[in-house]
Amino acid sequence: MKRLVILISGRGSNMAALLEASASGELPVFPAAVISSSSDAGGLRIAGALGVETRVVDHASFDCRAAFDEALAGTIDDFSPDLVILAGFMWILGDEFVRHYAGRLVNIHPSLLPAFPGRDTHRRALAEGVRFHGCTAHFVTPDLDRGPIIAQAVVPVFDSDDETSLASRVLEEEHKLLPRVVRWFAEGRLRMVGGRVCVDVD
């Protein structure tokens, strides 16, 4: 069974979706560890309650990104993961870190990339007046939020939406999309060919 390490920074609802799918047998992966960049991330308690090993590599205690990246990679590699998931991990990772995990580092992002990379995606989507929004699962490359796209889910944007309602509609899709993509990886149906993603879909 493929070994999974999940990186979080906060609430951890995407992490929870993965752990619950794994616990129910829907997702054939072994969640080896959850690693948080902050000791007060709510997701740590959820992971602990589900019996998953947790670690903290506190971003605040490093004075440069390279030192944080090195400590984080050391902690991740203690668990020998086949796949590392950025599930609401809010720090930019350096080129060396990203290359070390090439082809086995996946991020979930709350927009239809390449639209709205970076932060505040829902606020920016509303400001632009887009009629459709969504989320993207993609392989991570050194180019922020520009790695090869694996899959996306689309939601409508309503005139009555505010950031909260739109975020929650998108999040609901994230919780379905991420476990689906991880399952493809676990079943050997997801690969990168020449920088493009190939999936044998369900």
Strand ranges (E), 11-65: 29-36, 54-56
Q: Any residues with CB less than 8 A from the CB of 130 and at least 6 apart, and which? A: 115, 157
108 interacts with ligand GAR by CB under 6 A:
yes
Which residues, 12 to 41, sit near ligand GAR by CB under 6 A? 12-14
**Shortest separation between residue 194's beta carbon and ligand GAR, angstroms:** 26
Q: Which stretch binds ligand GAR (CB under 6 A): 4-12, 27-35, 155-163, 190-198?
A: 4-12
- Rounded distance, CA 168 to CA 42, Å? 18
**Shortest separation between residue 187's beta carbon and ligand GAR, angstroms:** 23
Binding residue (CB under 6 A) for ligand GAR from 4, 7, 10, 106: 10
DSSP of 85-146, one letter per residue?
EESS--SPPPHHHHHHTTTSEEEEESS-TTSS-SS-HHHHHHHHT-SEEEEEEEE--SSTT-
- Length of the chain (residues): 202
87 interacts with ligand GAR by CB under 6 A:
yes
147 interacts with ligand GAR by CB under 6 A:
no
- Rounded distance, CA 12 to CA 5, Å? 13
Residue 2 β-bridge partners: 29
46 interacts with ligand GAR by CB under 6 A:
no
Q: Which stretch binds ligand GAR (CB under 6 A): 3-11, 52-60, 69-77, 194-202?
A: 3-11
179 interacts with ligand GAR by CB under 6 A:
no
**Shortest separation between residue 24's beta carbon and ligand GAR, angstroms:** 18
Catalytic positions: 109
Q: Which stretch binds ligand GAR (CB under 6 A): 26-34, 104-112, 155-163, 188-196?
A: 104-112
Q: CB nearer to ligand GAR: give 173 or 186.
A: 173
Q: Are 65 and 56 in contact (CB under 8 A)?
A: no
- Rounded distance, CA 67 to CA 65, Å? 5
Nearest C-alpha neighbor of 152 from the set 167, 140, 134:
134
Q: What is the total count of residues that contact ligand GAR (CB under 6 A)? A: 14
Interaction site with ligand GAR (CB under 6 A)? 8, 10-14, 43, 87-88, 108-110, 171, 174
